[in-house]
Amino acid sequence: MSTVDAPGSSTDTTDRPHLARPQHPAPEGAVTTPAGQRPDEEPSLAVRNNGGVAPSAEPAPAGRREALLVLGFGGPEGHDDVMPFLLNVTRGRGIPPERLEAVAEHYHHFGGVSPINDQNKALVAALREDLAAAGVDLPVYWGNRNWAPYVEDVWRQLATDGIEHAYVLATSAYASASGCRQYHEDVARARLALSADPAAPAGPTAEKLPHYYDAAGFVQANAEALAAALAQLPEELQPGARLVATAHSIPNAMADVAGPLGHAYEAELMAAAQLVVDAAAPGRPFDLVWQSRSGPPSVPWLEPDVNDHLRTLAENGTEAVVLFPIGFVSDHLEVIWDLDNEAEETAGELGLAFARAATAGTHPAFVTSLRELLAERRAGGEPRLGTNCPAFCCYVEPRRPAPAAD
């Protein structure tokens, strides 16, 4: 296995000193769509990121220098990072300062540190180990959308290291504008930033790996976690405990256009949750509910909220509940705050026995499934959704400002 001593690799980012409040490399208002083209018109992001051609159904060319890029959301690593990070996440969206301050308190509760960066470092390390054990000599890099190491900086390092093609593993298993399309946009933005520098080396082409909500290892990891959580409840409550899958809520407008036919986000989550329950507790009913919504109340988001759902269950006589956060790959802040804090508190107030299943994290079966996903693309075959997404896929038309009142 090659070791990449570069910004964005797990070796480098673990050892180097932390730079507080780094500036985001992308300028405010940066766009990835060529002039004269609508974002939902061909050629798609997938085609443009792959050098102007659709991701191939043929095996990877022999001798091409390739790498795997784990592309995450990013998170702050100290109190001073929290507000700059949130401004990165929300820039251009007009989020009121008081809302940002409220969210910031969740991070400050944990020392200003999001667990997501350490979890992604652990995932990179596990992928390297799994690839090496399988005899796959492929460097693994790590970059983020909203915090260091920024994908723009890591893309420059890929170019400097002579990488010709990057396979992009998003830390989201599902379709949606935020869960898939934005990762295509992140790559496009990084490629544009590099191409704008005449002194920079030519950067790699790229393709995003497909959605993996139904990958055997992802299902196995979540099923084992669900079974373990169910076993935490008092034995007499286990048979009647309600199983509740959770995922990050998104605006209805985003859900409407997720996937080529719309509503793929809900459909993929429901399919994943069904596979997990079939493996862990065959025949038992479950619910899919939503958590962690943000934005103004006037904008409709997917419902019901997990806390509202717990109240409904209690009103209907349920005595125990097991939450399994199928919409998340690791136990980051939305899980440990919104579920382990708020939802568990709600359950306690309602007298519900409560357990929460772990996420897939670095479960060996999950890591192996990710390596197999990479092998699938390198071996050729028809690209699946998530890799060769149509231009219109998951595109949300920007909201027009309301006309001023007379």
Question: What tens digit of pLDDT does each residue of 37-62 get?
Answer: 999 999 999 999 999 999 999 999 99
Q: Which of 277, 279, 284, 280 is nearest to 231 (CA)?
A: 280
The DSSP symbol for 179 reads I
Residue 104: inside a domain, yes or no? no
Return phi, psi of residue 254, to 5°: -75, -40
Q: Are 268 and 175 in contact, with CB atoms under 8 Å apart? A: yes
CATH of the domain at 332: 3.40.50.1400
Q: Which of 47, 358, 330, 29 is nearest to 226 (CA)?
A: 358
Residue 405: inside a domain, yes or no? no
Residue 192: inside a domain, yes or no? yes
Is 171 in the same domain as 266? no
Is 53 in the same domain as 192? yes
Residues 218, 71: Cα–Cα separation, whole Å: 18
Token readout for 82 is 């929290």
Of the chain, the percentage scoring pLDDT greater than 90 comes to: 85
Buried b (16+ CB within 10 A) or exposed e, 247-266: bbbbbeebbebbbeeeebbb
Residues 345, 338: Cα–Cα separation, whole Å: 10
Is 234 in the same domain as 163? no
Is 200 in the same domain as 286? no
Average pLDDT on 225-239 reads 98
Is 18 in the same domain as 151? yes
Q: Which pLDDT tens digit goes with each residue over 307-354?
A: 999 999 999 999 999 999 999 999 999 999 999 999 999 999 999 999
Residue 99: inside a domain, yes or no? no
Residues 289, 277: Cα–Cα separation, whole Å: 15
Is 198 in the same domain as 324? no
Is 220 in the same domain as 341? yes
Strands in 320-324's sheet, in edge-to-edge order, are 286-291, 242-248, 320-324, 353-356
**Alpha-carbon 371 to chain mean position:** 17
Residue 97: inside a domain, yes or no? no
Cβ neighbours for 28, distance < 8 A, ≥ 6 positions apart: 91, 92
Summary count for the chain: helices (H), strands (E): 14, 8
Is 336 in the same domain as 225? yes
pLDDT at 66: 98
Residue 190: inside a domain, yes or no? yes
The DSSP symbol for 237 reads G
Mean pLDDT of the chain: 91
Is 320 in the same domain as 278? yes
Other Cβ atoms within 10 Å of 273 Cβ, number: 25
Is 171 in the same domain as 234? no
Domain span at 223? 216-356
Residue 369: inside a domain, yes or no? yes
Is 182 in the same domain as 44? yes
Residues 195, 216: Cα–Cα separation, whole Å: 38
Is 132 in the same domain as 20? yes
pTM given for the model: 0.92
Say what the alpha-carbon torsion angle 360, 365, 368, 373 is, to the nearest 10 degrees: -70
Number of domains in the chain: 2
